[in-house]
Structure 1
Amino acid sequence: MDRRSVISGLGALAAMPGMAFAQARSDAHAFGFDRPGGGRLALGDYRGRPILVVNTATRCGYAGQMATLEQLWQRYQTRGLMLVAVPSNDFGGQEPLDGAAIAEAARQSHGATYAFVEKTVVRGPQAHPFYRWAAAERPTETPRWNFHKYLIGRDGALIGGFPAATDPLSPQLVRAIGEELQAG
């Protein structure tokens, strides 16, 4: 590779803020999300535990999954599962709320008690660094709609992506979570 090619490649990386850095991270524990009202939810704080990251929207046809996610959360939280809801307005503009109002609406409508973070972009060049990393890790398993689920292993590796239509209590997702809980 000649010098001009290297300089051109570095320039292209510089034009994509955070992209090269995000993709260089080796596991999900390097990422975190802003919490409504301030503070940060760092995935690294859950090292040694499986983490289910779900992009949500209160006005989505799949919003009923928030209740099913609550059932999953109640079943597995004491065994170590961490569940993180990542509200997003990326698909059909189905998240009109902001901040703590999202978690409150989910609690009132679906009984959701798991963690919610700030509304976040989950696809495209402006996506949150976690979602850009996950897309680089599993390019065929990226969110195509609200309620896409990413399962992160105890070691921070991306175990898999589960599309919106996958019920949170589906055998394949429950099996994957169970295997990860037993791995420790």
Structure 2
Amino acid sequence: MSNIYAYSANDINGETVNLDRYRNQVVLIVNTASQCGFTPQYQGLQTLYQAYQVRGFVVLGFPCNQFGGQEPGTHQQIGQYCRSNYGVSFPLFEKIAVNGTNTHPLYQYLKNAAPGCFGSRAIKWNFTKFLVQRNGEVAARCGSLISPLQLCSKIERLL
């Protein structure tokens, strides 16, 4: 598959969302966790979403518990935590696997489309970010150390 529009995922409320819904938008896909040193990045993600949403930008958060068990909550707990602590209003999805035999198909695509350092396809930690252009193809992959606000110029170029 050549873009994200071929995939679907369950949102935080359990409803299936076809990613075709985000066609012609710039999308930032992030694997998240609520008990991680990078968790404050939720604030930056929300800031980006609020700043660029009207121009056709969306953040999609995919909680993952594969890195140090840092996302142990239920879907409802995760959603509540993100809303109450960081004011998150961008779409959140159910917990998924981003590595291993149970990797969500969307993440299989993302990792193949944009390998990490030295060609590694594995997600190294929480808050790895994939910036997707309006045609649904991956434009960039950024690791956890890159804060969301460091992506402003890349996002603006794609908008």
Fold similarity call, TM over 0.5: yes
Superposed CA offset, 1:134-162 (max 9, x none): 11112226521001110111001111111
1:39 paired residue number: 15
Q: Using CA pairs under 8 Å that are at least 6 residues apart, name the structure with larger relative contact order, 1 or 2.
A: 2
Tell me what 1:179 maps to: 157
Are 2:36 and 1:60 aligned?
yes
Unmatched runs of 5 consecutive residues or more in structure 2: none
User: What percent of counterpart residues are identical?
Assistant: 34
Alignment of structure 1 residues 76-155 onto 2, 5 Å:
76-140=52-116, 142-155=122-135
Report the secondary structure of 1:119's partner residue: coil
Residue 47 of structure 1 contacts residue 156 of structure 1 at CA under 8 Å; is this kept in 2?
A: yes
Where does structure 1 lack aligned partners over 5 or more consecutive residues? 1-24
CA distance in 1, matches of 2:132, 2:8: 13
Secondary structure of 2:97 counterpart:
coil
Report what 1:69 is aligned to: 45
Larger Rg: 1
State the TM-score, normalizing by the size of structure 1.
Answer: 0.81
| TM-score, normalised relative to structure 2 | 0.93
Instruction: Supply the RMSD in Å over aligned alpha carbons.
Output: 1.2
1:85-113 CA distance string (max 9 Å, x none): 00000111100112122111011111111
Secondary structure of 1:115's counterpart equals coil
Query: After TM superposition, what 4+ stretches of structure 1 lie above 4 angstroms from structure 2?
Result: none
Query: Is the contact between residue 41 and residue 117 of structure 1 (CA under 8 Å) also seen in structure 2?
Result: no
